[in-house]
A and B are shown apart, each in its own frame.
Chain A
Amino acid sequence: MNKIRISSIVGVCLLGAMIWITGCQDPVNGVAERSSVDLNTAMSGDTTGYARARPGTELVFPADYGPHPAFKTEWWYFTGNLDTESGRQFGYELTIFRSALAPETPGNLGEAEAQSKWSSNQLYMGHFSLADLGGGQGGNDQGNSGQGSEPQFYSFERFSRGALDLAGSQASPFRVWLEDWSMDGGPDDLFPLRLRAQEGDIALDLTLSSLKPIVLQGDKGFDRKGADEGNASHYYSFTRLETSGTIGIGGDLMPVSGTSWKDHEWSTSALDENQAGWDWFSLQLSDNREIMFYVLREKDGGSGQFTNGMLVQSDGSYSPLSREDVSIRVLDSWKSPHSGATYPSGWEMSIPAHDIELTITPLMQDQELNATIRYWEGAVSIKSNTDVTGRGYVELTGYK
């Protein structure tokens, strides 16, 4: 699935210096320059010395809610679709990535008296985006921002080392934070889970509780990503999280409610040589079912053999989806004015075995994150051949 995060995080190891070194050379071109890193280069990190995902490993909770620092990469990922009472729509993404920069933890310098607390092999990266999709009637929202505003997309990226409490993660009570962006679990359980992020005058403060049990992706949480042994991840999701809280834009605080999705994945993986990128879908249907599906795109345009997904029923039971179960047709495309990359924009997804025919449409075209590694991660709306509708999130990587 969202391997963008793998690539980003590996990319950071490689690019950290560049961000810093070229970061302010040219504030305008600097961003584009940073983003122009080839995905394969970014993902061809050395995996020696790190733990690898093994089949048959049983996930244990609450311990596995927390970090796995021996693995090279890990992320806690939240997306969701939210509305104000008046119908103004929002999509959000808050993801905190952890990356081990080196297999070994800071050892002993041989000078017990001078051991800086800053040295660390753990790097954290955060992505926070908010899609203000507009809509809604005037006057009902708190504050008087009035009429549904023009759609607007905000995205932010930040980095910190896992040291000095600047950033970190722990299993229980669950907490992952990157400076003042945080994901806090309840005192005894993962839920209710509170997400907080703010950058400038864009803010998010949400409380999440799960309406369904945990979903272990792949084979009991073991998800194969490539032909090589160890090229796999441990991966679980919470696919329907009841969400309420506030969103702040420009000083206006708006109460919102809706549905979120949580992923937590850790691995020491590399992209196969012929893989180009992926399209990843997380869809929440109005009949209380959810679909996770990703297509690993090959360089020749086809979909790779490790393409797969999961269908979650309304009672919480789930069954895997294989490459053969699902067919996807691209309906439209969108060319980014920021990066010049052309992305697919709108899909038809059919899963005949389950009698599912969906039309997936971006709620806003420009939801591209010009982060260290550029990708599109956006809120989508879903229509179907029946009266079932839905909302979801789509992630597109490796497009040029």
Chain B
Amino acid sequence: MTTRLLRLSSFRYLLKHPLLMALSILGVALGVAVVVAIDLANTSATEAFRLSSEAVTGRATHSITGSRDLLDERVYRDLRLNGSIREAAPIIDGYVSAPGDPGRTLQVIGVDPLVEGPFRAYTGAADSGLDLGQFMSARPTGLLSAFTATSLGITEGDSLEVAFEGKRFVVSILGLINSESEQAARALDNVMVVDISTAQNLLRMDGKLSRVELIIPDSEGGASLLQSIENVLPEGAQIEPSASKTDTLAQMTRAFSLNLVALSLLALVVGMFLIYNTVTFSIVQRRAMIGRLRALGVTRREIFQLILGEALLIGTLGTILGLFAGVALGTGLVQLVTQSINDLYYVVRVRSFDVSLWSLAKGMALGIGATLLAAIPPAREATSAPASSVMRRSEEETKLYRIIPKLVWISLATAVAAFGLLALPGNSIPLSYTALLLLILAFAGLTPGAVILFTRWFKPVLSLFGGVVGRMAAQGTVTSLSRTAVAIASLMIAISATIGVGVMVNSFRSTVEVWLSYTLQADVYISPPGLVFRRNDATVSPDVEAVLRNAPGVAAAYSVRTAEVTAGGRPSDLIVVEPGPQRDQGTRFKEGGRIWGDADELEKVVVSEPYSFRYDVHVGDSIDIATDSGLKTFSVGGVYYDYGSDLGAIMMSRKTYEAHFDDRGISGISLYVEPGKDVEEVIRSLRIGLEGKQEVLMRSNRSLREASLDVFDRTFTVTIVLRLLAVLVAFIGVLSALMALQLERARELAVMRANGLTPRQVWKYVTLQTGFMGWMAGLFSIPLGLVLAYVLIFVINQRSFGWTLQMEWSPAILIQAVLLALVAALLAGVYPAWKMSRAKPAEALRDE
């Protein structure tokens, strides 16, 4: 019976403060929404990637690959001719764009239909049959997924224009691939199935395959079959389980995804402070009632449960709301996340947004868990005190004052522990974020003490503004410290997060800008259009190369080749450069130095800083690279700065490359214009010379720099969105905290009104007080923000990507932060000020 009555009283209390309750729910909802949205965006991108690779992998258990992700087609022929294995299928896969529908990328899968049977089942084309003669002919023909065809507005018998590395082809669509299940339809979305011959022509892979797929039974016979195939494979070809490639690719984005998750959790942490504040406030408000209940014999346990129950209600409502909002937010974020993945890592297309139950469950657990966690300390405090003292409001403040020194010591200890964690060897990112959280808590713990100090120092300033009212406002901050401190701390955390992330992004950007300025020294850069901005391994056709190298007005030309190779057993980017006096200035070394021209140049490579970090490779170490003539060991001659890819890259000279690889193609070329010649003029004449040839992107130094920075900015859009969301949560937190504080003061203000304070003075009092608090929060957030930025730049970024960044911060960011805090606080004061100035003192005093 008592429980029911208690519940009722609790419910009525919550109903009496609808606005506060709504704000608390909203705070939790936003925190949960951000976490869920990021999780959904990440899993959707991963799922889309898995599906698209499954569409290609089919039932294959193993695949044979070559160096540079290319396999000589003769490897397949020889396997067939010597009868090693029947269930083998040649595969070419790649991507083309559809110029008729800008932005659309089609995945091209080249197969040999005659041996496809055991590997992949594309149903649906069967009823119309397929004209093998046309499919295997030299004319480009293909099958398109029915869904994709519909969205492109074409049907069987039509043709589709596609472009690869600047060359266009018209592909006749011989048939449509229908899928029985939604799952299969999604896997085949934007997939075009063509014959091996067509794939070689479209993707310019004459004589090459992407790989040979095999079905090898998981048995003893299978093991010996595997061994026998391994024995006949030529140098440079290797056999591996099919899943490993997909796994490696998925791992590329691991650090990227992890950091997004961590940033989203930050929003939840801010949300937790909000809950803490709300629950504390609700207890303080019912101090008297709780005391009476205790006096009447309600046990501590029952009170504890009551308070937690209320928190649970808020938490659950907020979480449910947050789940819905998260799904909505996620649909937007998934585009940003996949855009970044496409810019940085690999081509991935997300057609459908996956709302996985697992993501929702995680969000639910986090939301409710965080709420309970935040509610436990105030609930315990309310129940641990003797019944008589709970009833006294002043008791609480006295107690806080007493523990401030202790709190300072604990906070300092926490900070020391956090730095200890950061100093630990190893590269654990979760541990780094834990340290970050500890630092935040330490700063939060120091807040009450800091508020007292600041109030003491700035009381005179406030009295200058508002006389007695100003002094009262300042003093009021201290007298109800138990709540003001929490509100200030929440605001401080939120603002410091924006400072930390802002400074980190700024530092990153300016480091990249400096890097670009010395890396991009040439006047004109030319490359075929590729699909992944930072890993363009498209090939410039030889006739275009000849025109570029011999063009009038060109003083020097340097080629670059980007290829994917297997180094140390892992797929890695290889950058092949043509050394030369001008080009060499573009590379700066962290360790070692230039190796071009060394006597043993052919056995040497240099690696980028992220590569060195990721795989712990330094000058003097060696790397085994699968070359076209088998596995070769190269020694590392240097580590160079590079911000182009967090995956890391290996660089070697053109001479070394040609000694070990059969490839003579180039991916891009940079031109130095003769002194005195106009760059734009040279570009114009180059364009004329290239008329009718392969379409290439020709960019001046400046436009390439801009394009690079555009990609950079695009990559950080998600981060900036997250930062804004954290601010929003903080803003709501401050709004509700300050509002609660001022509303609680209603009686106190009524007394003052009764003693002659005018409504105008009430306005002034409230505004000054919230303004003062906001200003303090902004001020406190500066050191915390800079510490966060420091940890993000020098620890978390280092541990995630291995980049050396120069910390760079402008006073503007800091001023912005303080202003943001001030504005948030002032806005939060408007409603209470308005309400209290209008309240009739008599009514406010009546319940005496």
Contacts and interface: CB of A to CB of B under 8 A. Distances in A.
Interface of A: 12-25, 100-102, 104, 106-109, 111, 113-121, 123, 158-161, 163-166, 179-180, 198-199
Given A21-B122, A161-B136, 15 more contacts: A12-B132, A20-B122, A21-B121, A21-B126, A22-B123, A24-B59, A104-B137, A113-B204, A114-B200, A118-B195, A120-B136, A123-B132, A165-B77, A179-B81, A180-B80
Interface stretch (B101-109, B110-118, B560-568): B110-118
B403 to A, nearest CB: 72
Interface string B122-159: 11111001111111111110000000000000000000
A208 B685 CA distance: 70
A13 B133 contact: yes
B197 A116 contact: yes
Contacts of B167: 111
Given A115-B138, A166-B77, A179-B81, A20 B195 contact: no
B719 interface: no
B136 A121 contact: yes
Contact of A118 (B115, B116, B197): B197
B542 to A, nearest CB: 8
B792 to A, nearest CB: 48
A114 B125 CA distance: 29
B83 interface: yes
A22 B128 CA distance: 13
B113 A17 contact: yes
Contacts of B73: 117-118, 164
Nearest to A22: B126
Interface of B: 59, 73, 77, 80-83, 86, 112-126, 129-140, 167, 175, 195-201, 204, 206-207, 541-542
A73 to B, nearest CB: 13
A198 B199 CA distance: 31
Q: Which of A17, A102, A119, A165 has the most CB of B within 10 A?
A: A17
B83 A179 contact: yes
A17 B116 CA distance: 10
Contacts of A13: 131-133
A101 B136 contact: yes
A24 B126 contact: no
Contacts of B207: 117
Nearest to B82: A180
A199 B132 CA distance: 25
Q: Which of A107, A119, A121 has the most CB of B within 10 A?
A: A119
A19 B80 contact: no
Nearest to A160: B114
Given A21-B122, A22-B123, A180 B81 contact: yes
Contact of B81 (A108, A111, A166, A198): A166
B564 to A, nearest CB: 21
B181 to A, nearest CB: 13
Contacts of A20: 113-114, 116-117, 122, 130
A199 B123 contact: no
Given A13-B132, A22-B123, A119 B83 contact: no
A100 B196 CA distance: 18
B143 to A, nearest CB: 9
Nearest to A178: B80
A396 B130 CA distance: 28
Contact of B126 (A17, A108, A109): A17
A116 B200 contact: yes
A262 B756 CA distance: 123
7 closest A-B pairs by beta carbon, nearest first, are: A17-B130, A23-B117, A101-B133, A180-B83, A102-B133, A118-B197, A119-B197
B130 A16 contact: yes
Contacts of B195: 118-119
A305 B807 CA distance: 95
Given A14-B129, A20-B114, A119 B121 contact: no
A98 to B, nearest CB: 13
B114 A161 contact: yes
Contact of A160 (B80, B126, B129): B80
A128 B204 CA distance: 37
B81 A18 contact: no
B82 A119 contact: no
B123 A25 contact: yes
A21 B82 contact: no
Q: Which of B86, B123, B134 has the most CB of A within 10 A?
A: B86
Q: Which of A14, A18, A21, A164 has the most CB of B within 10 A?
A: A21
A13 B119 CA distance: 21
Contact of B130 (A21, A23, A109, A117): A21
Contacts of B122: 20-21
A120 B114 CA distance: 13
13 contacts: A13-B133, A20-B117, A113-B542, A116-B199, A117-B73, A118-B73, A118-B200, A123-B132, A160-B80, A160-B114, A161-B112, A161-B114, A198-B83
A101 B138 CA distance: 12
A24 B80 contact: no
A166 B80 CA distance: 7
A316 B797 CA distance: 89
A114 B457 CA distance: 79
Contacts of B139: 109
Contacts of B196: 116, 118
Contacts of B114: 16, 19-20, 123, 159-161
Given A161-B112, A165-B77, A106 B129 contact: no
